[in-house]
Amino acid sequence: MPNLQHLHRHWLYAWNGLHHTPPPGLYEQLLQAYSEPQRHYHTLQHLDECLQLQSDSAHLAQRPAEIAMALWFHDAVYDVRAHNNEARSADWAVKALQAAGMSAEVQARVHALIMATEHTAAALVGDAALLVDIDLAILGATPARFAEYERQIRQEYAWVPADVFVEKRRAVLQSFIARQKIYNTALFKHQLEASACTNLKNSLKRDC
C-alpha cells in the first residue's frame, strides 16, 4: 500500500520545483484516477515507486520537477481496452498546467515526456531517457516484485483469453530483450539491466 504522505510530499516537490500552485482538487482527482477498479498494476503503488526513483535520480535530470510532473500524469488515464492512454494522459497534463498558468514551453516538454512512455523508441536521451528508465524499472525489480507485477498485469487483462494473452505478452517481453539495451541511462543500466534480462528470460521460459 503506497504511503499517501510520501505521495503528497512528491506532489508538493513537483509543483514547488515548477514555481506554480496546482489547480484546486487536482491532487485528489489523480489519486482517484490511479485507484480505479480496473487497475492492478497501473496504480498508486506504481506511481509511488516511480516517484521514489525520480527522487533518487533527480541529480541526473535537467528539469527534475518536469519529470516528476510527467510521472504524476503518465498513467492518469488508463483504459485497458484503449490504445491512446498516453495521449489522453498527456492532454490532461497540458490542461492542468494551462490552468496553473504554466508556460507553453513547460506544457510541451511535459507532454513529450508522457508520450515517451509509449515505449516505442528504443533510444532516448536526456530527461526522456531518465523518465522511461524509471517507468521500466519494474522489469529489473526483485524476483518477488516482478512476479507480483506479472500477476497484476494479467489481472488488468483478465478479459483476454489465456492463449491470446500469452502470445501478446511474449511479444512485448521479447521486444525488450531484443533491444541493444533496456535502459538508456548509465545509472539504471548498471543497477537493473542484468536483473531485467534475467526476469524477462525467466518469464518467457515459464510461458513456453
Per-residue pLDDT reduced to its tens digit, 156-179: 999 999 999 999 999 999 999 998
Prediction pTM value: 0.95
Where residue 122 falls among pLDDT bands split at 50, 70, 90? low
Q: Which residues of 64-73 are buried (b: 16+ CB within 10 A; e: fewer)?
A: bbbbbbbbbb
User: Taking phi first (over 0 means left), then psi (-120 to 50 degrees means alpha), and beta for anything else, what does residue 25 get?
Assistant: left
Q: Where are the domains of the chain?
A: 4-119, 139-207
Supply the pLDDT for residue 120. Answer: 80
Q: 147-156 pLDDT, tens per residue?
A: 999 999 999 9
The letter for the amino acid at 81 is: R
Q: What is the mean pLDDT of the chain?
A: 95
